[in-house]
Amino acid sequence: MKTTTRLCVIRENVLHNSTPRRVTAALLGNVILGIGVGALKLSGMGNDPFCAATMAVSDGLHMGLGNFQLLLNLVLSLCLFIWGYRHIGLGTLFNMCLTGYVIQFSQGPLEAVFGSGAGRSLPYCLGYMLAALLVASFGLSMYQKADLGMAPYDFFSIGMTEHFHSPYFISRIITDGTCVCVILLSVALGLVGWENSHLGIGTVVCAFCLGPFVGTFDKLNEKWIHEQESV
């Protein structure tokens, strides 16, 4: 399909779907998501595969997480533009350009107020992790319910399902598994130490609990984001 056609579709998505409440939800949702992921990192219990991979590689390259995620998302967005342009909207832009920086710069204030899991007991770290995961889930639900486009990384599992007709959970396992392999390769090559791999119990908990947690917040966010659209 021609580039101009793709751009027209994206333009229509932005103009027709970007109500004030949706834009607010997409923007605020990404901020809350970033704060939750930042807190999850401070718990020391491990992050979701994608964030763990970007944290590990950016640490190894001595590069800020915000800058690294922005550059990576720009590369991934080329695939989104070619194969998944119908999924591009303002929410895509917010996620690409904002979330990594929120994760990076929220950690200082969070640690100053709530501390971190370093040197704390396992129950404390697990509680910290659970609280962080709930915050991240609330933000993710808000961002997704705005329905203003998806993150470039998230498109890969959706895209595989759409183009290869594979079950979504298989596609997600492949994409998340690739991130874990990137981390393990980085550790094996000495780019980062295992203590900076950002893998742990939290990674497993994210895999099994993030979806259900997001679902618990969906009805709440659905109500305030879309309640006036059917009037």
Q: List pLDDT tens digits, range 139-173.
A: 999 999 999 999 999 999 988 988 888 898 899 99
**So what's the pLDDT on residue 70?**
96
Q: Please indicate, yes or no, if residue 109 is contained in any of the structural domains.
A: yes
Look up the pTM and report it. Answer: 0.92
Take residue 143 and report the two structure tokens written for it. Answer: 């961002």
How far apart (Å, rounded) are the C-alpha atoms in residues 177 and 203?
A: 11
For range 1-8, the mean pLDDT: 82
Q: Please indicate, yes or no, if residue 88 is contained in any of the structural domains.
A: yes
For range 95-104, the mean pLDDT: 96
DSSP letter at 184 equals H
Tens of pLDDT, residue by residue over 206-230, are: 988 888 999 999 999 999 998 766 5
3-state class (DSSP) for residue 215: helix
In degrees, to the nearest 5, what angle opens at C-alpha 145 toward C-alphas 109 and 42? Answer: 25
**So what's the pLDDT on residue 230?**
53
Q: Please indicate, yes or no, if residue 98 is contained in any of the structural domains.
A: yes
Take residue 46 and report the two structure tokens written for it. Answer: 């491990």
How far apart (Å, rounded) are the C-alpha atoms in residues 108 and 100?
A: 14
Number of domains in the chain: 1
Of 171, 207, 217, residue with least CA distance to 46: 207
Residues in Cβ contact with 223 at an 8 Å cutoff, skipping those fewer than 6 apart: none
Q: Please indicate, yes or no, if residue 29 is contained in any of the structural domains.
A: yes
| Percent residues over pLDDT 90 in the chain | 76
Tens of pLDDT, residue by residue over 186-201, are: 999 999 999 899 999 9
Take residue 81 and report the two structure tokens written for it. Answer: 């533009």
Q: Please indicate, yes or no, if residue 214 is contained in any of the structural domains.
A: yes
**Where residue 231 falls among pLDDT bands split at 50, 70, 90?**
very low
Q: Please indicate, yes or no, if residue 79 is contained in any of the structural domains.
A: yes
The whole-chain average pLDDT of the chain stands at 92
Tens of pLDDT, residue by residue over 37-61, are: 999 999 999 999 999 999 999 999 9
How far apart (Å, rounded) are the C-alpha atoms in residues 21 and 225?
A: 6
Take residue 85 and report the two structure tokens written for it. Answer: 């342009």
For range 77-94, the mean pLDDT: 92
How far apart (Å, rounded) are the C-alpha atoms in residues 117 and 2?
A: 51
Q: Please indicate, yes or no, if residue 231 is contained in any of the structural domains.
A: no
Q: Please indicate, yes or no, if residue 149 is contained in any of the structural domains.
A: yes
Beta carbons of 36 and 139 less than 8 angstroms apart = yes
- Domain holding 50, by residue range, is 3-13+22-226
